[in-house]
Amino acid sequence: MALHRRFLSEPANVAELSARVAHLAATTIRDAETARMMTRTYDIVRSFISVPPDINHLPCDGQGTPDAVLLWEAEYTRTAGIASQALGEYYDTIDRPMPFVLAAPTFLSPGGVQFSWSPSFHLHGQPISYDIEVNDTEAFDPAGTLLTATGLTEPRFTTAALPSGHFFWRVVARAATDPSVDWQRAFGDHLFVVVP
């Protein structure tokens, strides 16, 4: 992740990446071209995956049965139209903060807990803030919220306000440009913590 961060922290690299994505979308990776190439190979691929040993190793719920072929056909069809979807997702997410990683909490005496995470960053250099939530349910039910803190500017938060117990915590990074749209959760979404 450090190499990606170092590379993408340079505005010229981000501009080059976006230019190359646009070029590929305009010239090479297009839904129609993908569908055309897949149509050319459909019969050959289907003849192999329809019989053992390949049918027994298709990564799907119907593995080893005729249902596996139907599931493969559905995925094959879906894949043919995914290029434009992926391009749209690229443009929709380019302004979000980059993913980050939650660290194991540190227990301080007397009774404090420090939550920390790797810093996120924004591809266009916008400031990042963080929101943390501690909840007693893994689904982060609003009724189970024990603690929230918003607008944090550092990738850590310390509290003495948690009772003993088993809890879940998560962090959201938000870009200053449009925090309600340009946000990102950590890799893995949340962690479990046991407060003594």
User: What's the average pLDDT block by block, 10 residues per block, for the chain (196 residues)?
Assistant: 77 91 90 88 93 91 90 89 89 90 89 92 92 96 96 96 90 93 92 87
Look at residues 18, 13, 9, 189 and name the one whose alpha carbon lies nearest to residue 98. Answer: 9
- What pLDDT is attached to residue 1? 59
Of the candidates 93, 119, 143, which is a domain's last residue?
93
Residue 188 covered by a domain: yes
| Bridge partner residues of 113 (DSSP) | 107, 159
From the centroid of its chain, how far is CA 92? Answer: 13
Whether residue 191 is found in the same domain as residue 112: yes
Domain that holds residue 23: 2-93
- Token pair, residue 20, equals 């190359």
Secondary structure (3-state) at 21: helix
Of the candidates 69, 93, 117, which is a domain's last residue?
93
Residue 100 covered by a domain: no
Q: Residue 156 belongs to a domain with what CATH number?
A: 2.60.40.10
Whether residue 73 is found in the same domain as residue 21: yes
Of the candidates 34, 66, 93, which is a domain's last residue?
93
The tally of domains found in the chain comes to 2
Whether residue 89 is found in the same domain as residue 135: no
Its pTM stands at 0.73
Whether residue 88 is found in the same domain as residue 117: no
Phi-psi region of 91 (alpha: psi -120 to 50; beta: other; left: phi over 0): alpha
21, amino acid identity: V
Residue 99 covered by a domain: no
Pairwise CA distance, residues 145 & 150, whole Å: 14
CB within 8 A of 113, min separation 6: which ones? Answer: 105, 106, 107, 158, 159, 160, 162, 193, 195
Residue 29 covered by a domain: yes
- Token pair, residue 131, equals 């929101």
